[in-house]
């Protein structure tokens, strides 16, 4: 066994010792399945014969599921409503062995739901034909903010790392972030950011994991496979976030790691470029990357592990996770 492979396997072996705080937006993913029968006489639409439904954790919940599958203990901090969707989220977490005592139940908030409708012939594979989003922002009130601040301060002493998973529902408050940031920095634990729409609003983190379109949107540029533009964009993004590193994911083109004072490090995609489903791959990447950093990995080694992990989950259908054994197997091979 070569030295680098042995080092990566040793990092993975330390995963089970870690507790990772995940602060973010918890969404209920709802899946409705039906068989197509005929076209409606009322309008040119399909009539579906309902068969069954399923529920899963969405948003920041994907990171929780990834961390749990990798043998670590995720500690979720966020806001859910006093509603059916909120109760389902808490129920799923309890079923998975994920603690729920750090979730805030807010009366003036409806838990976000993403409903995906799948349809097809009786014996055929079902295809997604529609998605319905029920969105609501977490309210700005002082009592809720005080609860968030206290929970994060308490978990600072009980966490190996902090993942901020911001889906723009505002469980992650910018003023709270800047109030607790010094505490997490003082504890010298990694702070990782995945923010869909506000990546440059959270400065001073350890690392962020944007995809290429998010970098383009934040900087208002187009990279267009231009290597110099890519390098400039990554460096500018790194500096504007005041981060130690940025891991930019580029789909079938792999990843690029930007570190302060170092040449960008290109990582080709692991496995085939014929991706089955990229849904949730970003959550897998930040989960493995952060977990590896908390286990003492360098940015480069953490990025290599995250790349392996991403390559595994994109070959699975739907929002998927991976196990420690799967990760070890690809490194061994």
> Which residues participate in catalysis according to the annotation?
283
CA gap 50, 30 in Å, rounded: 14
CA gap 40, 211 in Å, rounded: 41
Q: In terms of Cα–Cα distance, which of 326, 324, 292, 321 is closest to 306?
A: 292
Q: In terms of Cα–Cα distance, which of 301, 320, 303, 304 is closest to 312?
A: 320
Q: In terms of Cα–Cα distance, which of 121, 177, 109 is closest to 148?
A: 177
CB-based contacts of 287, cutoff 8 Å, min separation 6: 20, 63, 66, 67, 70, 163, 309
Q: In terms of Cα–Cα distance, which of 202, 185, 299, 276 is closest to 242?
A: 202
Q: In terms of Cα–Cα distance, which of 17, 65, 138, 15 is closest to 319?
A: 65
CA gap 303, 291 in Å, rounded: 11
CA gap 192, 205 in Å, rounded: 6
**167 and 59 Cβ atoms separated by less than 8 Å:** yes
Q: Give the DSSP letter of residue 72.
A: -
CA gap 207, 199 in Å, rounded: 11
CA gap 330, 333 in Å, rounded: 5
Partnered with residue 49 across adjacent β-strands are 35
**216 and 233 Cβ atoms separated by less than 8 Å:** yes
């Amino acid at each position: 066994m070569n030295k680098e492979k042995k080092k990566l396997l040793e990092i993975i072996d330390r995963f089970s010792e870690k507790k990772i705080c995940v602060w973010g937006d918890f969404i209920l993913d709802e899946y409705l399945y039906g068989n197509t029968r005929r076209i409606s006489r009322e309008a040119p639409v399909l009539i579906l014969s309902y068969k069954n439904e399923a529920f899963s954790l969405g948003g920041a919940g994907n990171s929780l599921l990834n961390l749990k599958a990798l043998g670590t203990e995720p500690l979720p901090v966020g806001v859910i409503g006093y509603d059916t969707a909120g109760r389902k989220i808490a129920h799923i977490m309890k079923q998975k062995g994920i603690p729920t005592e750090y979730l805030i139940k807010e009366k003036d908030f409806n838990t976000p739901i993403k409903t995906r409708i799948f349809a097809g012939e009786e014996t055929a594979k079902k295809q997604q034909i529609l998605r319905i989003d029920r969105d609501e922002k977490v309210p700005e009130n002082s009592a809720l903010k005080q609860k968030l601040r206290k929970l994060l301060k308490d978990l600072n002493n009980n966490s190996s790392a902090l993942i901020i998973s911001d889906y723009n529902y505002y469980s992650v408050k910018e003023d709270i972030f800047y109030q607790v940031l010094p505490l997490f920095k003082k504890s010298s634990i990694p702070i990782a950011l995945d923010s869909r729409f506000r990546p440059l609003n959270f400065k001073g983190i350890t690392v962020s994991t944007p995809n290429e379109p998010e970098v383009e949107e934040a900087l208002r540029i187009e990279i267009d496979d231009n290597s110099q533009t890519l390098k400039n964009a990554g460096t500018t993004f790194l500096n504007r976030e005041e981060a130690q590193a940025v891991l930019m994911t580029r789909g079938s083109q792999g990843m690029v790691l930007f570190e302060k004072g170092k040449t960008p490090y290109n990582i080709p995609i692991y496995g085939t470029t014929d991706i089955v489903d990229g849904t949730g791959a970003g959550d897998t990447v930040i989960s493995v990357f952060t977990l590896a950093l908390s286990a003492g990995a360098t940015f480069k080694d953490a990025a290599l592990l995250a790349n392996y992990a991403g390559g595994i989950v994109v070959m699975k259908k739907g929002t998927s996770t991976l196990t420690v054994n799967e990760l070890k197997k690809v490194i061994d091979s």
